[in-house]
Chains A and B, each alone.
Chain A
């Protein structure tokens, strides 16, 4: 009874949604709607996804299943609180009982908010924080069409509070969708830039989950494999948009990274990116891509062995990982990958003003993602990091 438990693993939990992976699974949307006994579907999407024809594919599936639906597409990147509440109104008016989301992170995060706000009859901003959702929302059927966000896997729902101009994080197992239908074919509709940004987003998820102070053997498996897949396939996916093998691998990488970060959480990169998205509505994937190398530099010594593992997964050879050059080599490798993917290196190119940085740092400091960052960061640390990325 007095056994020494200090050396044993800490308590860890792993929660994941049911998911179906493979070409053509988008067609299962109707079947799942039937299985959930849906009477009316709220189909959440955005104009870009509609244009790409993916919303139509889902609609066909629902029609075939004979389930009525109403499309809600008033969703913009970095989804806003009022967009969520508009969706709630449509959901109620149309007496929907199941939500299908098709698209990238924005429609999916918006759909999560609509679901919990509807059943709880509460404003979406009231759920800010961890485990603040009293009652689960309706069944969520998610069909991701970008390979990176993993909102279809994660327990995070990031919504922009348009009054405070910050992104709030709703962290709850109750926002994990009931099923994720991962169809790699949908991702070929992404252009080069979006492919690159979402790919770098997935890489950031994997790296931050792996170096998270809450990582676990289970999340490690997914994190490292995600990194390996991204290293091997990101550039192919960017350069050859119709390379289905690359597309499939990137979607798998996004799934793995999602499984890892949803359970191990993230770190300072996401804290800083959320702040940028909230204050300046900057594109999430790009922000992550730009910030990652700077945060690795800041964090490295606090989790050196972990970062070496990351470097190895990124294919750095043993020589590069010896003799004290590990950190700079890793930073360089990430930077190179970003460059190769075609993402600009500086935040200033995303229309960030230098004078915004102190406020950005303050907001990032309050982001829950910082809680699992391997190194404790002060507001000043964060500000300096923004400065370096500027």
Chain B
């Protein structure tokens, strides 16, 4: 058996040696070449698929970028165009971003002059004050309408109000402070001027030898404003007269003159002219005094009619109330001064100031 098997094996070996085995063939690179080409073909297909996927990805990315650019452009235009200044500092307090309005606010030629520099030292008129702002921001997370005095490039103080808050990076770490500055220099100046005028007016009114008032066009002459001089003239305090609290002005007018005063005022109002009256009042102490009054109807923007009146005591010898003048132009001419007090300059300025306040 084994002999036969050996024999068979030898026969098979012989067949193969003389090139009759299945795998016997002359040297040829073709099968290997074919195999490698197939591999390459498969790789190429794979590569093409990947390229397509990559292209898609690139397109998606491009679309995302386009959207991002659009969105950025939107935000950029907001930042570029806001009148308030948007600013941002890093965690160390250096300026890292500011809207272009920053340049107008502080007079810089380019943002590069300030970017990267410490905000307190560079932009604050009082650098030490920034610490207080930061303390508040850190306590509350933000500040609103917080007044800060910045320093322009030329060293001039610029008062601004800031809305500021902390901001954080993607990982949630404190990244710095950002917010807005709003220039309030002009408003502050106007407020100052107004306050000054108000004080000036108060002083004038307080020192006026007589009283100024504003009242409604009703039978009681209900007072909306009464100057300090009221007490000296009538013996009543302004508070007594305001809104007819203790007494109405009509009750102070001498009963015999009340009708005349009413009629003459109504007549002047119809003509939109000034009125000048002499009539009697009865003081708190019961004394009868002659007063001289000049006034005009004042119409509020809403069309409401109010009175502006200046009331002064006059000589008891004067006889009866009468209209002194019909027009303001006459009144303002230097020659038409028929009063015993040189009150015209005051009156004029008062009129303008009070009109402004009424407006």
Interface residues of A (CB under 8 A from B): 11-13, 15, 130-131, 135-136, 155, 171-174, 176, 178, 213-214, 263-265, 368, 370-372, 376
Bound together, the chains give a CA A131 to CA B21 distance in angstroms of: 8
**Chain B residue contacts of A371, Cβ below 8 A:** 10-11, 13-14, 17
Docked complex Cα distance between A264 and B19 (Å): 9
- B13 surroundings in chain A (CB, below 8 A): 130, 368, 371
On whether the beta carbons of A214 and B26 are closer than 8 Å, the reply is no
- The distance in angstroms between the C-alpha atoms of A131 and B13, with both chains bound, is 10
Given A131-B23, A371-B10; A171-B17 close (CB under 8 Å): yes
Known contacts A136-B32, A371-B10; is-contact A130 B17 (Cβ 8 Å): yes
Cβ of B18 within 8 Å of any chain A Cβ, yes or no, is yes
The residue of chain B having its C-beta at the shortest distance from the C-beta of A219 within the complex is B18
Expressed in whole angstroms, the Cα–Cα distance for A376 and B16 within the complex equals 18
A11 contacts B17, CB within 8 Å? no
B20 at the interface (CB under 8 A from A): yes
Q: List 13 A-B contacts (CB under 8 A).
A: A12-B18, A15-B19, A130-B16, A130-B17, A130-B21, A136-B27, A136-B29, A172-B24, A173-B26, A213-B14, A214-B14, A214-B18, A265-B18
Contact B20 A372 (CB under 8 A): no
Cα A11 to Cα B29 with chains together (Å): 25
Instruction: From B11, B14, B24, B27, give the contact of A265 (CB < 8 A).
Output: B14
Q: A13 near B17 (CB under 8 angstroms)?
A: no
Point out the residues of chain B lying under 8 angstroms from A214, CB to CB: 14, 17-18
Contact A136 B28 (CB under 8 A): yes
CB-CB < 8 A to A135: which residues of B? 32
What is the size category of the interface that chain B forms with chain A?
A: 10 to 19
The residue on A at minimum CB distance from B36 is A135
- Report A-chain residues with C-beta under 8 Å of the C-beta of B19: 13, 15, 155, 173, 263
Q: Which residues of A contact B20 (CB under 8 A)?
A: 11, 13
Closest CB-CB distance, B106 to chain A, in whole Å? 69
- Residue in B14, B26, B27, B32 whose CB lies within 8 Å of A372: B14
Known: A265-B18, A368-B13. A15 touches B26 (CB 8 A): yes
- A264–B27 alpha-carbon span in the complex (Å): 18
Please give, as numbers and ranges, the residues of chain A lying within 8 Å of B302 by CB-CB distance. Answer: none
B252 to chain A, nearest CB (A): 124
| In the assembled complex, B171 has its CB within 8 A of some CB on chain A | no
Is B25 located at the chain interface by the 8 A CB criterion?
Answer: yes
Specify which chain A residues have a CB less than 8 angstroms from the CB of B17 in the assembled complex: 130, 171, 214, 265, 368, 371-372
Number of inter-chain CB pairs below 8 Å: 58
Say which residue of B7, B10, B27 sits within 8 Å of A173 (CB atoms). B27
Instruction: Give the CA-CA distance A358 to B19 in the complex, in Å.
Output: 32
State A130–B20 Cα separation when bound (angstroms).
Answer: 11
Nearest 3 A/B pairs, CB to CB: A13-B19, A130-B16, A131-B23
Known: A131-B16, A372-B14, A376-B10. 18 other contacts (CB 8 A): A11-B20, A13-B19, A130-B16, A130-B24, A131-B23, A136-B28, A136-B32, A155-B19, A172-B24, A173-B19, A173-B27, A174-B27, A263-B18, A368-B17, A370-B10, A371-B14, A371-B17, A372-B17
Q: What is the interface of chain B mostly: helix, strand, loop, or mixed?
A: loop
Chain B residues within 8 Å of A264, by CB: 18
Distance, CA A106 to CA B166, complexed state (A): 85
A13 to B22, CA, bound (A): 13
| A372 to B20 CA separation, bound complex (whole angstroms) | 13
User: For B7, B20, B27, which residue has the most chain A Cβ atoms within 10 angstroms?
Assistant: B27
Question: Contacts A11-B20, A131-B21, A173-B19 given: A178-B14 contact, CB under 8 Å?
Answer: no
> Shortest CB–CB separation between residue B210 and chain A, in angstroms?
118
Among B11, B17, B18, B23, the one with the most A-chain Cβ atoms within 10 Å of its Cβ is: B18
Bound together, the chains give a CA A130 to CA B15 distance in angstroms of 10
- Whole-angstrom distance from the CB of B185 to the nearest CB of chain A? 79
Smallest CB separation, B39 vs chain A (Å): 13
A265: chain B residues within 8 A (beta carbon): 14, 17-18
Contact call A131/B24, Cβ cutoff below 8 A: yes
Q: Are B26 and A176 in contact (CB under 8 A)?
A: yes
Residues of A contacting B29 in the complex (Cβ-Cβ under 8 angstroms)? 136
CB proximity of A181 to chain B, nearest CB, Å:
17
Known contacts A136-B29, A368-B13: does B24 contact A173 (CB below 8 Å)? yes
CB-CB nearest in chain A for B28? A136
Is there an interface contact between A176 and B16, defined as CB atoms closer than 8 Å? Answer: no
Which residues of the partner chain B approach A213 to less than 8 Å between Cβ atoms?
A: 14
- Cα(A46)–Cα(B315), bound, Å: 151
Nearest neighbor of A155 in chain B, beta-carbon distance: B19
Would you give the 0/1 interface string for B233-251, flagging 1 where the beta carbon is closer than 8 Å to chain A? 0000000000000000000
Cα(A178)–Cα(B26), bound, Å: 10
Nearest A-chain residue to B7, judged by Cβ: A376
Least Cβ–Cβ distance between B33 and chain A, in angstroms: 10
Q: How far is the CA of A376 from the CA of B23 in the complex (A)?
A: 26
- A146 vs B212: C-alpha distance when bound (angstroms): 144
User: Please, which residues of chain B bring their CB within 8 A of the CB of A136?
Assistant: 27-29, 32
